[in-house]
Amino acid sequence: MKKTSFGNVLLVAAIGAVALVGCKKQEPAPAPAPEASMPAPVNEPAPAASALSVTSVSVGNAAAADKTVAPLATLGAKDKIIVSVKTDGTASNATVAARLTYQDGQVAGEQNAMLNTEGAETTNLEFSNTNDWPTGKYRAEVTLDGQPAGMAQEFEVK
């Protein structure tokens, strides 16, 4: 009888195991789980950007029948101050605002108006003071829906 050594048995077992693993049929990768059926996203319209723009700003003390204001660089201490804002475009509930600041940065007044328009329009924001306006330099700044619009106007009260 032939004796088989323990090392030979281990070698044959190892080769057999490797052969079995190498011949094992590759299983296909599992198919991805179907995603939950989601409805197609609804394209909601983005908030409409304001189709309204400020075309000019002027400061004066009197408005004509068509609301235009002749720009003045100097106003009197007793004058009514009118900030005239010309706009063009379409808007629904747009806010046009004007702020007057005195030379030291102090706010001398703020006014606003709601616009519903389709086309060119002039909006006048009036400022009056029960006392005389302090003499000095002023600045009128206009915003449209909270964003700076038009050129800031500087004027002087004498």
pLDDT tens-digit map of 34-82: 554 455 555 544 444 458 999 999 999 999 999 999 999 999 999 999 9
Phi and psi at residue 7, to the nearest 5°: -65, -40
**Cα separation, 144 vs 53, whole angstroms:** 8
User: Which pair of tokens denotes residue 76?
Assistant: 């009197």
Q: What is the band of 2 on the pLDDT scale with cuts at 50, 70, 90?
A: low
Q: What is the pLDDT of residues 86-134, one digit of tens each?
A: 999 999 999 999 999 999 999 999 999 999 999 999 999 999 999 999 9
pLDDT, residue 151, reads 94
Amino acid 46: pLDDT: 43
pLDDT at residue 140 in the model: 97
CATH superfamily ID and name for 51-157? Immunoglobulins (2.60.40.10)
* pLDDT band, residue 8 (cuts 50/70/90): low
Which stretch of DSSP H or E encloses residue 16? helix 6-23
Per-residue model confidence (pLDDT) at position 47: 44
- Evaluate whether 124 touches 83 at the Cβ level (below 8 Å): yes
Q: Give me the residue spans of the domains in the chain.
A: 51-157
- How far is 33 from 37, CA to CA, in rounded Å? 12
